Amino acid sequence: MSGGVDSMVLLDLLQNSIFSLSVAHANFQLRSIESDADEDFVKNKCLQKQIPFYGKRFDILTHAKMNKCSVQMSARTLRYNWFYHLGKNLHCDCIVLGHNLNDEIETFFLNLSRGTGLKGLLGIPKKVGPILRPLLPFTREQIMLYARSRNLHWREDSSNKESKYFRNVIRHRVVPVLFKVFPNFYQNFSHTLYHLNQYYSLSEQAVQISRIQITVMKKIDPFLWEINTEVLKRFHPINGYLFRLFSPYGFKNLPDLKRLLQAQPGKQLFSKSYRLVSGKNRWLLRQKRI
Amino acid sequence: MSGGVDSMVLLDLLQNSIFSLSVAHANFQLRSIESDADEDFVKNKCLQKQIPFYGKRFDILTHAKMNKCSVQMSARTLRYNWFYHLGKNLHCDCIVLGHNLNDEIETFFLNLSRGTGLKGLLGIPKKVGPILRPLLPFTREQIMLYARSRNLHWREDSSNKESKYFRNVIRHRVVPVLFKVFPNFYQNFSHTLYHLNQYYSLSEQAVQISRIQITVMKKIDPFLWEINTEVLKRFHPINGYLFRLFSPYGFKNLPDLKRLLQAQPGKQLFSKSYRLVSGKNRWLLRQKRI
């Protein structure tokens, strides 16, 4: 729980349910006094409502620097790891998060603008492992309406109001324009997202079938596969197949894979844990020994 | 050729190529004097450059009313039909159109906001039958730059400057915002579109394979197919499969198809040209006799 409107609505809804609750609050200490005030706010709410509260402070800047990733990515990693860990220790059945339809739309536009490929356009999953996001079908406006009708209190994240982050540009300057011109925007967007996911599943199956077709045999060595490149070469679109078949093994560079497809026997490609060796009409995919 | 900057750039490029050209201009008479001035502009350019000019006037409002479709849809249908017809009569090898990357982006956002499904997000094809769109990889800014560097003249469509149409809202209020925040927006967008098309092709193959799996036999009657619904029912995601397998025959209503999957033998669904009859673990798909 951040203390924002989504999390307060979620708490209000779950409180009236049959589930027994614990609240976790991650304090990233990025907005100094404000961050601490958020923590106090959530803590006090929990005290009032007699719900167990778990707070944790993270030194996110050090983590980001050490792992050479963005502050946002660090926050994400640290938060989710802690949620999993805490959920396990407390024997929770699930971890419930307050993401809504607007978060999903913003993520879509962010990933579209950053060019992260199709997977980034599939939306935020409703359920992954123990994580549930029951507010995902609702817009921020609907959640706000509920919060007001129930007289809930929440804290505004000051960074939300500034157009400082990319996400906020999309939130304040792109989505409202589209919604104004297309009153069914939210509904239509959900519809598109649903279809994208259906197509993704279908394409996943084409890849599975093709994987069976090209894998000649799994040798006695359980870490060695033989791939029939004569069959592989006939797949169309070859780029789509090469990427989807070999990126799970860490081979994500298409030009490299395409060169290997034309290479003399003996040429090799290496990923972190695998080796791909070209032979006559064959590739050998071998897991590296640890 | 509309007389706009895209078409003038296209003409300039093609003029310096080895191809022999004819120019077609559709006058939709929607902006009265302005429409006629566009036609005169293009006609005079062609006279100057000694390129055969073909102009045609369309009564688009009547066509839209009679066919119960939007003015834009009417314009599209009438224009393309005439292009095909003219191209055939003149024995042209191809019909070249001036669409650019911005048109593609705008179409993507329009279709996303309208909820037209994945096909509407796949972009404008570079080549369909005789139609080619060689300017598709270039942005409007790049085309403008070329036009200025070559001292070309063109006509501005006054309706482009107003935020009157949905497309113009996206053109003037959405794309510039995204481009400002994500300087690689165009490149990243193209990248995403490429991936969407790859996924679409892959999913198309999963559907083809499944079609073979469920089609028990093509009976002696060439207009009758038998479908194994026991196998069909096992496909996942069933909605994706049902839609992709049966929409080509005009069955686009998913709830209807799902009901038929559970129905007693003898239940039927009708589309414009096909009939789908449920039997025991079977469907019969029959083309209607004309």
CATH fold label, B212-287: 3.30.465
pLDDT value of position A160: 63
Q: How far apart are CA B169 and CA B191, in angstroms?
A: 24
pLDDT value of position A116: 80
CA triple A73-A82-A79, angle to 5 deg: 30
Nearest CA in chain B to A168: B181
CA triple A127-A130-A133, angle to 5 deg: 40
Alpha helices in B67-100 (DSSP H): 71-89
A95-96: strand order across its sheet: A95-96, A131-132, A127-128
List, for chain A, all residue ranges whose pLDDT scores fall below the cut of 50. none
Supply A236's token pair.
Answer: 């169309």
Question: Model ipTM?
Answer: 0.83
Per-residue pLDDT of chain B (290 residues; tens, 9 = 90+): 999 999 999 999 999 898 999 999 999 888 878 889 999 999 999 999 999 999 999 988 898 899 888 888 888 899 999 999 999 999 999 999 999 999 999 999 999 998 887 888 999 999 999 999 999 999 999 999 999 999 999 998 766 665 557 888 999 999 999 999 999 999 999 999 988 998 899 998 889 889 888 987 666 666 778 899 999 999 988 998 999 899 989 999 999 999 999 999 999 999 999 999 999 999 999 888 76
3-state secondary structure of B48: helix
pLDDT value of position A187: 94
Domains A5-181 and A203-287 share a fold: no
pLDDT value of position B164: 59
Which of these CATH numbers, 3.40.50.620, 3.40.50.11810, 3.20.20.70, 3.40.50.300, describes B5-181? 3.40.50.620
CA distance A238 to chain B (A): 9
Q: What pLDDT, in 10s, does the model give residues A126-184?
A: 999 999 999 999 999 999 999 999 999 999 876 666 555 788 899 999 999 999 999 99
A237 shares contact with chain B (CB less than 8 Å): yes
Of B113, B170, B197, nearest to A188 by CB-CB distance is B113
Please report how many Cα atoms fall inside a 13 Å half-sphere around the Cα of residue A32, on the Cβ side. 1
CA triple A246-A250-A253, angle to 5 deg: 70
Q: How far apart are CA A119 and CA A116, in angstroms?
A: 7
Alpha helices in chain A (DSSP H): 5-15, 32-49, 60-66, 71-89, 101-114, 140-149, 158-161, 166-169, 175-181, 185-214, 229-234, 238-246, 254-262
Q: Domain residues of chain A, as ranges?
A: 5-181, 203-287
Name A113's Cβ contacts closer than 8 Å, sequence gap at least 6: A166, A170, B178, B181, B182, B185, B188, B189
Architecture of the CATH domain A203-287: 2-Layer Sandwich (3.30)
**A109:B188 CB<8 A:** no
CA triple A59-A64-A67, angle to 5 deg: 120
Q: Which of A107, A187, A203, A212 to mutate to test the interface with B (most CBs of B within 10 A)?
A: A203
Name A50's Cβ contacts closer than 8 Å, sequence gap at least 6: none
Tell which B residues from 186 to 215 touch A, by Cβ distance under 8 Å: 187-189, 191-192, 195-203, 205-207, 209
pLDDT value of position B253: 92
CA quadruple A145, A149, A152, A153: dihedral sign? positive
**B112:A187 CB<8 A:** no
CA distance A155 to chain B (A): 27
**Whose structure tokens read 């100057």?**
B48
Binding residues of B for ATP: 2-7
